[in-house]
């Protein structure tokens, strides 16, 4: 028989759910009840443990408090005895055998005023000179019971010299007649020439009676104090163990503990019971409702699994779903099948996303995803890994099928898109690796395809590149260049050359552009195109640009009366402290801000945020000039130019090289020149190599030019020589003290 099934509506559609889902839900509810019972049991155990722990901490605190109170009382007795028994006076009265004075000032005073019931005076042979009990003079033999305690206290104190006065000693004593706290005080050595006994020690005892225990209870806020000799009490009492100094036996001081844990437990026990019953009632309700919720749980789980494998924006597979299915598909390839793994990256998406907003960017991503899905069909699986990065795999019998498909896919991707009134042109770069040609491992396959994508973007974008082993060597070489470049910046291998910028009408030099070169110890002097792109990808460009800025300012001081231009990458421009770094270089080198010109690209203008704009405005206010480099090659518009403090526009060499050969080039250059003049911005033409190009620029009204017609990049010494020759040709004498007349 077929399996019985039920019908459930989930997320707006009907789905068939096996009836065993209800049984699973009921089992889940039973397990939940069992879990709640375990939780309640554990809760009770935790409460019992917490109660015991709390009571244990309370008992420990009570013991510390009682010990501290006894210690304070002993300290008070020590101070009292020391103050009320001056050494010389007591010794003198003993020599005079003035027992009335001794009785009145010692026995009576200590008993009546301080409650110290026993007082004894001993000579150096520890014979009793005076004895008092409860304010009455008594037989000296009453001290015999305390003599072992005195000897123990003196021995524990380290057998100190009987002739030296020391800190009074204190300890508990218990005899057959009384229990008390005894304080022994040593007197200073006195003169015995006059005869009579020489007092050595006084022993004062405060009986541990009901009065003593009552005062102790009031002080520590505890009750039921009692003291006795014998084993510790039962667990209903708290206690401390003291040592009887008479015979070294233990003494127990016990009291009734507060037990805050038990008290708290008694208060919250009804609440815990009510809470436990409530939880059990809820569990029973869950069990009753299990049949109704079983199907919903199963449907939700199925829907969650489906959503976990999809990209939330485009509906394509996400990384997790793609990687899992890729591994399964590779494992299931037949002997004559090949699998192509392709990384696809949209070209120019970031500029569109930044300029038109994320809403337009999301719509564009969804449209591109739809094109990829439709082109791929059921031949494989497409996914979006994030941003504008798409991946796909497809299986086929011949590699030529992959090439044909990807060529068609690029054509589809490059078709114009119209979104929110904007017609957008976007393309894609694709990198491809194959199974089994390159690897059978899914992770390695994706890595190789990513390397191929990197090459496609490096070769100019809008291309398909297939992985070849040489590409890995390129990656390793690039990493080697990164490490060498980092060392080169710090070890003085970088150098600057200067290309002149001239006035179009007079052809006089008005400035120099500082260009960086790498004097490699093995490969010789390297042009910037061999290392600047690597520096930009590895974030070394900030260090490189900062070095170029500082060095250009240092050498620029040797080039009088002309500007010095320094290129700044978009990455360096986004440094939080870029304005501070440039102004610091100017201040430390003494280079005039008005002679420094920073060249930024159109992409830097488009990607700039408010912080970059604020930094450029701050530099412009300090006198630094801002030039827009390679104008016409990007997407910069009049809006962008007016938003930034641009003082110069440099027309890209691609337009200048076509002057006289392509009509559109002349029209574009003429338009840019007129635009710059209307905005009060200086126009500089790059890449001027012929006189005919120079004549066009003069006719259009361009102010400055730069190119091999005038000079290529030269060293600082050659640049100074060019300025000197220019001055000589014009017949202008250099003013005295000019740096150009002083050896640098």
Average pLDDT over residues 640-669: 82
Select the more confidently predicted residue: 672 or 156. 672
Q: Indicate the DSSP class of residue 167.
A: P
What does the pLDDT read at residue 23? 56
Please list, residue by residue across 559-586, b when 16 or more beta carbons sit within 10 angstroms of its beta carbon and e when fewer do: bbebbbbbbbbbbbbbbeebbebbbebb
In tens, the pLDDT along 335-374 reads 889 999 999 998 878 777 777 788 888 888 999 999 999 9
What does the pLDDT read at residue 198? 59
In tens, the pLDDT along 26-73 reads 565 667 677 777 777 887 788 777 777 887 888 888 889 888 888 888
What does the pLDDT read at residue 425? 80
Q: Over 60: is that where the pLDDT of 166 sits?
A: no
Closest of 424, 547, 531, 515 to residue 481, by C-alpha? 531
Q: Report the share of the chain in percent with pLDDT over 90.
A: 28
Q: What are phi and psi of 392, to 5 degrees?
A: -155, 155
CA atoms 566, 567, 569, 570: torsion sign: positive
Least-confidence region, from 193-197, 526-530, 538-542, 619-623 = 193-197
- Residue 131 has a CB neighbour count (10 Å cut-off) of 21
Select the more confidently predicted residue: 64 or 644. 64
In tens, the pLDDT along 672-728 reads 888 888 888 899 999 999 999 999 999 999 999 999 999 999 999 999 999 999 988
List Cα–Cα distances, 76 to 71, 169, 181, in angstroms. 9, 12, 12
Distance CA 3, CA 111 (A): 100
Where does residue 193 rank: exposed (0-12), middle (13-18), buried (19+ CB within 10 A)?
exposed
Average pLDDT over residues 652-679: 84
CA atoms 733, 737, 742, 744: torsion sign: negative
Q: Give residue 270's pLDDT band: very low, low, confident or very high (50, 70, 90).
A: confident
Distance CA 394, CA 14 (A): 32
Please list, residue by residue across 689-712, b when 16 or more beta carbons sit within 10 angstroms of its beta carbon and e when fewer do: eeeebbebbeebebbbbbbeebbe
Distance CA 578, CA 140 (A): 96
Q: Give residue 17's pLDDT band: very low, low, confident or very high (50, 70, 90).
A: very low
Least-confidence region, from 197-206, 310-319, 463-472 = 197-206
Q: Over 60: is that where the pLDDT of 15 sits?
A: no
End-to-end CA distance of the chain: 102
Q: Over 70: is that where the pLDDT of 472 sits?
A: yes
Q: Report the share of the chain in percent with pLDDT over 70.
A: 85
What does the pLDDT read at residue 479? 84
Could you tell me the pTM of the whole model?
A: 0.49
Q: Over 70: is that where the pLDDT of 327 sits?
A: yes
- Residue 639 has a CB neighbour count (10 Å cut-off) of 8
Average pLDDT over residues 532-551: 89
Closest of 323, 456, 328 to residue 392, by C-alpha? 323
Return all residues near 100 (Cβ < 8 A) that are at least 6 apart.
Answer: none
Distance CA 576, CA 569 (A): 14
Q: Highest mean pLDDT: which of 293-302, 382-391, 555-564, 607-616?
A: 555-564
Average pLDDT over residues 645-662: 85
Distance CA 568, CA 632 (A): 18
Strand 427-435 and strand 338-347: pairing? antiparallel
Least-confidence region, from 104-108, 156-160, 191-195, 556-560 = 191-195
Q: Which helix (H) or strand (E) holds 704?
A: strand 704-706
Strand 179-186 and strand 169-174: pairing? antiparallel
Distance CA 290, CA 226 (A): 63
As beta bridge partners, residue 423 has 418
């Amino acid at each position: 028989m077929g399996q019985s099934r039920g019908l459930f509506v989930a997320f707006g559609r009907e789905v068939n759910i096996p009836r065993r889902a209800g049984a699973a839900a009921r089992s889940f509810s039973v397990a939940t009840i069992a879990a709640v019972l375990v939780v309640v049991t554990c809760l009770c155990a935790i409460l019992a443990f917490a109660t015991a722990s709390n009571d244990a901490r309370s008992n420990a605190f009570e013991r510390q408090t009682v010990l501290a109170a006894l210690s304070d009382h002993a300290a008070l007795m020590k101070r009292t005895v020391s103050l009320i028994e001056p050494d010389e006076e007591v010794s003198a009265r003993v020599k005079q055998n003035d027992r009335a004075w001794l009785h009145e000032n010692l026995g009576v005073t200590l008993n009546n005023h301080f409650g110290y019931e026993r007082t004894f005076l001993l000579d150096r042979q520890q014979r009793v000179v005076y004895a008092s009990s409860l304010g009455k003079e008594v037989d000296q033999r009453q001290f015999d019971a305390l003599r072992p305690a005195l000897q123990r206290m003196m021995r524990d104190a380290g057998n100190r010299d009987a002739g030296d006065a020391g800190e009074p000693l204190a300890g508990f004593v218990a005899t057959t007649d009384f229990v008390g706290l005894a304080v022994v005080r040593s007197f200073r050595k006195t003169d015995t020439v006059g005869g009579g006994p020489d007092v050595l020690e006084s022993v004062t005892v405060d009986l541990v009676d009901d009065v003593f225990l009552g005062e102790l209870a009031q002080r520590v806020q505890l009750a039921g104090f009692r003291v006795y000799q014998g084993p510790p009490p039962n667990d209903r009492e708290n206690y401390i163990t003291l040592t009887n100094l008479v015979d070294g036996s233990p003494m127990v001081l016990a009291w009734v503990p507060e037990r805050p844990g038990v008290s708290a437990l008694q208060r919250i026990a009804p609440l815990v019971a009510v809470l436990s019953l409530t939880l059990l009632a809820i569990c029973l309700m869950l069990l009753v409702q299990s049949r109704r919720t079983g199907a919903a749980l199963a449907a939700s789980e199925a829907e969650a699994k489906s959503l976990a494998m999809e990209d939330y924006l485009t509906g394509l597979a996400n990384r997790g779903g793609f990687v899992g299915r890729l591994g399964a598909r590779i494992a299931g390839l037949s002997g004559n099948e090949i699998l192509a793994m392709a990384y696809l990256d949209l070209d120019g998406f970031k500029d569109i996303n930044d300029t038109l907003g994320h809403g337009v960017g999301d719509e564009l991503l969804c449209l591109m995803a739809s094109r990829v899905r439709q082109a791929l069909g059921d031949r494989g699986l497409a996914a979006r890994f994030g941003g504008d990065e798409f991946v796909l795999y497809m299986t086929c019998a011949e590699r030529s099928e992959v090439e044909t498909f990807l060529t068609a896919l690029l054509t589809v991707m490059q078709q114009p898109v119209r979104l929110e009134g904007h017609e957008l042109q976007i393309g894609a770069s694709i990198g491809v690796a194959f199974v089994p040609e390159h690897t059978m491992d899914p992770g390695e396959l994706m890595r190789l395809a990513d390397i191929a994508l990197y090459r496609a973007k490096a070769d100019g974008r809008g291309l398909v590149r297939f992985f070849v082993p040489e590409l890995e060597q390129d990656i390793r070489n690039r990493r080697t260049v990164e490490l060498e470049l980092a060392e080169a910046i710090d070890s003085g291998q970088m150098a600057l050359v200067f290309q002149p910028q001239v006035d179009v009408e007079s052809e006089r030099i008005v400035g120099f552009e500082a260009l960086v070169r790498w004097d490699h110890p093995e490969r010789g002097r390297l042009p910037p195109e061999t290392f600047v792109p690597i520096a930009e990808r590895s974030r070394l460009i900030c260090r490189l640009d900062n070095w170029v800025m500082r060095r250009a300012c240092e050498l620029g001081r040797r080039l009088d009366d002309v500007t010095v231009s320094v290129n700044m990458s978009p990455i360096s421009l986004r440094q939080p402290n870029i304005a501070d770094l440039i102004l610091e270089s100017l201040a430390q080198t003494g280079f005039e801000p008005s002679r420094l010109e920073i060249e930024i690209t159109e992409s830097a203008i488009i990607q700039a945020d408010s912080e970059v704009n604020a930094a450029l405005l701050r530099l412009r206010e300090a006198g630094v000039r801002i030039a827009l480099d390679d104008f016409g090659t990007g997407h910069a518009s009049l809006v962008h130019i007016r938003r930034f403090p641009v003082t110069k526009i440099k027309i890209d060499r691609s337009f200048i090289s076509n002057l006289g050969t392509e009509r559109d080039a002349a029209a574009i250059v003429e338009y840019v020149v007129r635009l710059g003049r209307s905005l009060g911005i200086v126009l500089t033409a790059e890449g001027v190599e012929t006189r005919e190009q120079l004549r066009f620029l003069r006719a259009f009204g361009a102010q400055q030019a730069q190119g091999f017609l005038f000079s290529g990049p030269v060293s600082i010494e050659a640049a100074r020589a060019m300025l000197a020759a220019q001055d000589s040709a014009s017949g202008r004498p250099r003013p005295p003290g000019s740096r150009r007349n002083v050896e640098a």
